Amino acid sequence: MSSLLIIGGTGFFGKSILDSFKRGLLDEFNINKIFVFSRNADKFKLEFPELIFSGVELINGDISIVKSLPVADLVINAASSTNMNEYNSGNAGKNNIEKSVLNYCSLAPDFHSNSKILYCSSGAVYGKQPLNLQKIDENFELRQDLSDLPVEKQNYCLGKRYAEKEIINLANLGLSTSIARCFAFSGKYLPRDQHYALGNFIGQAETGKTVIVNANGIVYRSFQDADELVISLMKILQISSINCPIYNVGSDVQISLYELAKSISSNYGVKYEFVNYNDKIIIDRYVPNIDKLKQLMNIQTIKCRH
């Protein structure tokens, strides 16, 4: 049997892992203990009691300043704020990512030298996906010029790139690491009021409001189901090594935000509205090539949900 430590364990990824664990979806990985490390562990216990059960231990702490960590066989580092204010506040989000990964990497040799470690990065590291590129893969050359991105996205991109380098440095020290470049997802615990189009659309629909798309062109996204996300992360975690394998994680089935809004409004019986509607030009695409992930999971398709 194995123990799993989730750093940043009360966010969407952490909740989805706990939910999967509770329903037996992680049985194949023989996990009997999950440590949930988070700045908001006490609050989490009150707000999500259904995710606190036998085999789960909450630990309150800030990964950017903590001096010790639980020893665990498996580690998923998903420490990255999903708070909209922090995401949009200049360098704050970038600084938090960098400070957190630096502190973790200083602790890992002492506490996780014998662990398998997965760092949850982002597809944002690629920068703006070329509009004529249907799916972006792991070998895409990371561009240095990020001027075509809003400042907050530039900072997030640079923060995650920095974090990846630090995790690769851990591998160079002999620790078993891996990196998941995560894209967009759907699931029960997806925030309804942050910078996630799907979550925002569902949040509007659930309260009977009009689903609003504010874009002056076609925006393509793809959404991997939360259960598939968790299995993907666990599969990558299992092959962590000193070579630090890197995988895109997400769905390769794209949908425009216009189509997504129509689908959600239909499901909930509410109206939809397109502001600055223009269906003639593509202005943004964020869709991964996941052939490498499919090969690892030995499947043909990754389940997605709109």
| Domain boundaries, given as residue ranges, for the chain | 2-183+224-250+289-297
Q: Report which secondary-structure segment, H or E, holds 108.
A: helix 92-111
> Mean pLDDT of successive 10-residue segments in the chain (306 residues)?
95 96 95 94 92 95 96 94 52 89 98 98 97 96 93 94 98 98 96 86 93 92 97 97 98 96 95 88 96 86 52
Q: What is the pLDDT of residue 277?
A: 81
φ and ψ of 16, to 5 deg: -65, -40
Which residues, including other chains, have CB under 8 Å from residue 222's CB and lie 6 or more apart? 183, 184, 250, 251, 252, 253, 254, 255, 286, 287, 288, 304
Assign domain 2-183+224-250+289-297 to a CATH class. alpha beta
Nearest alpha-carbon partner for 246 in 176, 148, 180:
180
Q: What is the pLDDT of residue 32?
A: 95
Q: What is the pLDDT of residue 122?
A: 97
Q: What is the pLDDT of residue 185?
A: 96
Q: What is the pLDDT of residue 73?
A: 98
Q: Report which secondary-structure segment, H or E, holds 40.
A: none
Q: What is the pLDDT of residue 299?
A: 64
